[in-house]
Each structure stands twice: as structure tokens, then as C-alpha cells.
Amino acid sequence: MNGAPPAVVVRDLVKRFGDFVAVDNISLEARPGEIFGFLGPNGAGKSTTIRMLCGLLLPTSGQALVAGLDVAREPERVRQNIGYMSQKFSLYNDLKVIENLRFFAGMYSVPAADLKERIDWAIDMAGLAGREQLLTGTLAAGWKQRLALGCAVLHRPPIVFLDEPTSGVDPISRRLFWELIHRMADDGVTVFVTTHYMDEAEYCNRLVLIDRGRIVASGSPLELKEKSMAGDLLLLECDQVGKALEELQGAPGVTDAAIFGNALHLVVASAQSAIPQVQEFLATRGITVSHIEKIRPSLEDVFVSLTSLNRDRDEGDKGEANRDQGDKRDKGGTKDKGDPTGTAVTDEKKGQP
Ligand SMILES: Nc1ncnc2c1ncn2[C@@H]1O[C@H](COP(=O)(O)OP(=O)(O)OP(=O)(O)O)[C@@H](O)[C@H]1O
Ligand SMILES: [Mg+2]
């Protein structure tokens, strides 16, 4: 795969909704056969980016090439080369399993000669053999999601965009789903996926973390854990965990504090000096520390640390008001709701074929 042109190239991509900047000058590249994880908190701009990459939303500025095609100039051809699973389940609940497959096969112009083989493949992949005649709406979430993936890749696209494909699905179904994703990547398919599950982020070859429309970190899961934390991470066990959390937020030397199970994780500038400081700080507030040690950060730590650092940095400036405005605007239902194919054109694209 090395030397092959990138499957996705994004340069200085911007999306504004009025004054609100949802995607703020992002650049990235995904290589063929790569599982590319796109992470970020709610409202970070993940779905907006994906919709631009799928040719469903016009960028305000910048450029994106998908399968070598410019998404703004050739959105139709881009759509022929990709599979897209939108954040909302993209199936018709009131159609039978087999009817959904036939519908998507038609929409993606699967050649008649391949139709049976592709539909059989999708049924097998989704574990739905014998359930072809069931109403899709009656399927459990895990099955629905595998069916939605099957529908999105019926035409064998080289690049697949999956927007939170596993939200609301149980852990076993999630694992099965990721096995499918890995098999597709082994076959050379580029998988561009968003998730809020950090265990899933670990399955990706490369990650980009965005916050408030901006890229705040990128690299392999290992690189992110080793390089992206600003400071050291401490595991702290104590009585009154809730009170300790409250006290430690804003305590001297503590950059960040978050609950992890029955313990706290603290980001500090230096573990060596912070360990005695924190113990003393809590002792004077009547909290006894039973255990404190420096630990290696998990992806979740990196995620929490980088996104909250960003929040702190922006606090007080008009970025906050700006983003709130965007959140309110979104309540009008601007996402993929009611668009089972995920291909409805947005206001920007009205009038295009
Ligand atoms: N059509 C639109 N008009 C105005 N604002 C929008 C529109 N679409 C999205 N936004 C705003 O842009 C920001 C980014 O939204 P987006 O859906 O891309 O976030 P996300 O990272 O996918 O979040 P989530 O994890 O919740 O799915 C949000 O503040 C959202 O309210
Ligand atoms: Mg989203």
C-alpha cells in the first residue's frame, strides 16, 4: 500500500454556518486500507466534516479529495466511490431486510449480474440468513447496524465513511462490527470512522482528535498516548472521591481531574512534585489518600485532557458563545434525520443533480 495515493486528502477545510465555524481549517490524509479514527466531543464537527467528504455539504473553503476526486467539484462521482453510514441509522424500518438491500443496491447501481452475490454476501456478513423477510424495524440494534454497513458497501466502494456506527449497540455486537471493519481494511478498503468509544479508537491505525472544529492531536493510538498529554498522569484513590474531585479542580499544580471508576485521574505538570503536594492538599481538607501513583495514560485520558485544555484556553473568548449558537441552531433538525439514504442534499446543494 505504501506509495499509493492517499484515499482522503483534506487541506485547510472550513465549514461555516453563518458566523459559526463548525469546521475550522482542518487538514488530514487517510491512506488506502487504513482505519482512520475521527474522534471528538459532541459538536466537535465530525459529522459536518464527513458530510463534506461524502459530497453532501459544500465546504466554505479549503479542499478535500476523496478517491482523488474533489468533493466540491465532483460530488456525484465521489458518492459513487464511497459508502456512507450516517449517524442516524440509514435504513428504512418499514421495509423488510431484503427490501432494504434491494433498495440500496438500486441506489448504488449495483450491476444486475452482481446483485444476487452482493445481497447474499451482505446477508451473510450481517448474520441475517433466514431473517430476510423480517421487518427491519424489528431487528435488534446490532443486526440493524451490520445490515446498514452491508447496505453501505453493496457496491464495493474503496472508501467507507462510518459516522458513529456503533452508538447504542451492545459490546458483543460492537466487537463483531469491528471484526467486519478490520476484514474490510484487510481487503484494502479505507475506513473513516467516528466513535465516542475509546476501546474502538484503539482499533484504529490512526486517529485525529478534533475539538470545536479544530484538530488538537493526531497519530497512532500509541503515539497519542505517549506524546499528547501535557504533563504526567496520576491515579489517585481516596475516600470521598466526589469531594476530592471538586477540591482538586483548580488546585495548584493540577491541570485536570476526572473520575475513573472508584478513583481519580489527575493531570499534573510533574508527578514527582505533585504526589506529596496533592496528598497534603487533600489532607488539609479532611480527605485521606489511600494510593497515589504515576500511570500511563489511556486514550480516554488523552481525549479528556486535550479537549478540556482546549475548553479552558477558549473560556471567556467569544468562541464559547459562537459554539453555543451553533448548538442551538442545530436543534432545528439539521442532521441526517429522516434521510434514510443519507444522501439528501442540504440547502447548500439544492439544485445540484
Ligand atoms: N446545518 C447546520 N446549521 C447550523 N449549525 C450546524 C449545522 N450542522 C451542524 N451544526 C453545528 O456544527 C457543530 C458541529 O456539529 P457536528 O454535527 O458536525 O458535530 P459532531 O462532532 O458530529 O457531534 P456529535 O458527536 O454530537 O455527533 C455543532 O455545534 C452543530 O450544532
Ligand atoms: Mg456527529
Neighbouring CB atoms inside 10 A of 270's CB total: 12
43 CA to centre of ligand 1 in angstroms: 5
pLDDT digits (tens, 9 = 90+) for 274-333: 999 999 999 999 999 999 999 999 898 888 888 865 555 455 444 444 444 444 333 333
Class of domain 230-296: alpha beta
283 CA to centre of ligand 2 in angstroms: 43
Tell me the angle at which helices 241-248 and 271-283 cross, rounded to the nearest 10 degrees. Answer: 120
- Decide which of 344 and 299 is more confident: 299
Q: Which helix (H) or strand (E) holds 225?
A: helix 221-227
204 CA to centre of ligand 2 in angstroms: 18
* Rounded Cα distance, 240 and 235, in Å: 15
Strand partners, 30: 8
Yes or no: is domain 8-225 CATH 3.40.50.300?
A: yes
Domain segments of the chain as ranges: 8-225, 230-296
Decide whether any atom of ligand 1 lies within 6 Å of the 330 Cβ: yes
Tell me the angle at which helices 97-107 and 112-125 cross, rounded to the nearest 10 degrees. Answer: 130
Query: Do 37 and 165 meet the contact criterion of CB atoms below 8 Å apart?
Result: no
* Rounded Cα distance, 233 and 96, in Å: 51
Secondary structure (DSSP) of 294-339: EEPPPHHHHHHHHHHHHHHHHTTSHHHHHHHHHHHHHTTT-SSTT-
* Rounded Cα distance, 39 and 65, in Å: 20
328 CA to centre of ligand 1 in angstroms: 10
Residue 115 CB burial class (10 angstroms; 0-12, 13-18, ≥19): middle
Which ligand gives the minimal distance to the CA of 212?
A: 1
| DSSP 8-state code for residue 6 | P
Q: What is the mean pLDDT of the chain?
A: 85
pLDDT, residue 303, reads: 87
pLDDT digits (tens, 9 = 90+) for 184-215: 999 999 999 999 888 899 999 999 999 999 99
Nearest to 93 by CA among 138, 40, 46: 138
Q: Which of 163-177, 211-225, 231-245, 287-301 has the lowest mean pLDDT?
A: 163-177
Q: Is pLDDT above 70 for 352?
A: no
Which ligand gives the minimal distance to the CA of 57?
A: 1
* Rounded Cα distance, 301 and 261, in Å: 13
Which ligand gives the minimal distance to the CA of 26?
A: 1
